[in-house]
Structure 1
């Protein structure tokens, strides 16, 4: 995650087409991976914040809970899931499985 830019970066579209041969297929793969990353990060954050869940609405506790605020800030500073997915894809870390054409024809029949 250290080399992933946190802001918008201009990309060469030809780089996306190298692995799949099709820009649109690459974007679909990146999109699916970004959704997986997003779900994973959300589950992590929710599990960490669940430790601080309380049934009593006490304003003093809200203002005093610095650890909860630090956890939230940490996740806000992380690169966006889309940026993480793009870097993984361009680094060849994403596994893409394409069904065999013969199998696909059998399924469609």
Structure 2
């Protein structure tokens, strides 16, 4: 999943109303767990995507003396640094009902 599509998500932390976070689960702690797990999924996806793009620049004979700066590689890295953090994306998805989650212990009751 590329976060490029999430242009409406802020790049910095914003103040949240905690009452908004527990609307879907009726439990703030459960909401935080859902958001945390989704943030981890997003972070892994973005890391794999970045590593795939940077792998194109890898060479087999790199050593400390032969390392040189590659402008395209630097631009790719800067692009990923400017993207919203995975936790902010996960909060946005949670608040906009874009995350499917379930609690098996509640389903048994």
Q: Does 1:93 align with 2:68?
A: no
Rounded Cα–Cα distance in structure 2 between residues aligned with 1:19 and 1:51: 42
Which residue is equivalent to 1:44? 49
Rounded Cα–Cα distance in structure 2 between residues aligned with 1:78 and 1:56: 32
> Which of 33, 36, 47 is equivalent to 1:31?
36
TM-score, normalized by length of structure 2?
0.87
Find the structure with the greater CA-based Rg: 1
1:57-72 pair list within 5 angstroms: 57=62, 58-59=66-67, 62-63=68-69, 65-72=70-77
Which residue is equivalent to 1:106? none
Rounded Cα–Cα distance in structure 1 between residues aligned with 2:32 and 2:103: 15
* Structure 1: 5+ residue stretches without partners: 103-109
RMSD: 1.0
* Structure 2: 5+ residue stretches without partners: 1-5
Q: Which structure has the highest helix share of the two?
A: 1
> Which of 3, 12, 16 is equivalent to 1:11?
16
SS in 1 for 2:24: helix
C-alpha displacement of 1:101: 1.2
